[in-house]
A = this chain, B = another copy of it.
Amino acid sequence: MRVGIIGAGLQGRRRATALQQIDNAELIALTSIHTDEAKIIASELECEFELRWEDIVSRDDINIIAVCTPPDLHLPICTEALKQGKHVLCEKPLARNPEEARQIAELAAENGMKLKGGFNLRHHPGIRQAREWFDEGIIGEPHFLRIRYGIGGRPGYDKEWRADKEVSGGGQLMDQGVHALDLSRWFLGDFQEVFGFLSTSFWDVAPLEDNAFALLRTAKGQVSSIHASWTQWKNLFSLELSGRDGYIVVDGLGGAYGVERAILGKRAFLEPFREEIIDFRGGDHSWVEEWKELAGAIKEDREPLGNGEDGFQAVRLAHAIYESSRRGSVVKVG
């Protein structure tokens, strides 16, 4: 993999650092609108600096583009990169709205390039463990899912780019909420109806929301209840999946979210509560895992986990929830 990274904020640096742990991968060049800072980073990472993203995307010695910009640039950069025959790793959300996201996903399919969305949560060890238990059928047919995901932000949070709708395409539902929507689809499959309430309770981000509550229902009647919050004063990640024969819980994501823990329990009336608990006390390797997944998808010519379609569907669900909130009624998405 010969990689170019566009955007050198927190995410760009994470992607670059993670890449160092991948065999046969090299960071060739990076760019950022924050040129001075980006030059320093390029020097530290011993890669080239380009002034314009177009110059990264057009380089022949690069075959993979990591798009680490805010969402408003995803469409133009992905479009150009895919046209130039590059594989793309694009941060979530895939785009500001379903129309843009669909264009990106369709272009990748047409051009036969790999497109991986930045759904690093799918690669977190607790969530991978949850998926493994789920796939083994231990909890049986799933009944419902609850996801609570939130942070408290930091002073000035409402002055960051995420508060600008033109840039971000949405508030917290399009930020951490998109992970919750993607995980909901990953476990329960496609939804048929969604509904949500939004609120702007603390941060000066209106018309964007700092809290999004949503209910999603599949054709079979399974419900996912999600809450994404920028006013969760103590970092929280909790995923609770319940099925006919048991349940799976993932708590924490390491770091400020606390120890990542996967819990498996089985339905057993009248017996003591028995659970299998795995603590993942190590650091967050999900960024490395994402690179590995993309490398595998390219090598084996298969779709990566969390592909363009997944990226599109998550944005589509988010915007359907926005619409339901405006209309005060369920929006069909089936």
Contact = CB atoms under 8 A, between A and B. Distances in A.
Interface of A: 125, 143-144, 146, 148, 152-155, 193, 195-197, 199-202, 211, 213, 215, 217, 221-223, 225, 227, 229, 231-235, 242, 244, 246-247, 255-259, 265-270, 272-282, 327-330
Number of copies: 4
A242 B247 contact: no
A276 B274 CA distance: 7
Contact of A201 (B154, B222, B275): B222
Given A125-B272, A234-B273, A235-B281, 11 more contacts: A144-B199, A144-B231, A197-B217, A199-B221, A233-B242, A233-B266, A233-B268, A234-B279, A258-B259, A328-B329, A329-B330
B197 A215 contact: yes
Contacts of A328: 193, 329-330
A274 B279 CA distance: 6
Contacts of A232: 242
Nearest to A125: B272
A231 B279 CA distance: 18
Contacts of A231: 143-144, 242
A255 B200 CA distance: 35
A121 to B, nearest CB: 17
A215 B223 CA distance: 13
A157 B148 CA distance: 29
B227 A225 contact: yes
Contacts of A242: 229, 231-233
Contacts of A329: 327-330
A8 B233 CA distance: 41
Contact of A221 (B193, B201, B272): B201
Nearest to A140: B202
B217 A215 contact: no
Contacts of A152: 267, 269
Given A199-B222, A199-B223, A242-B231, A281 B273 contact: yes
A242 B257 CA distance: 17
Nearest to A194: B197
Given A225-B213, A269-B154, A278-B273, A202 B244 contact: yes
Contacts of A197: 193, 195, 215, 217, 223
A252 to B, nearest CB: 9
B146 A227 contact: yes
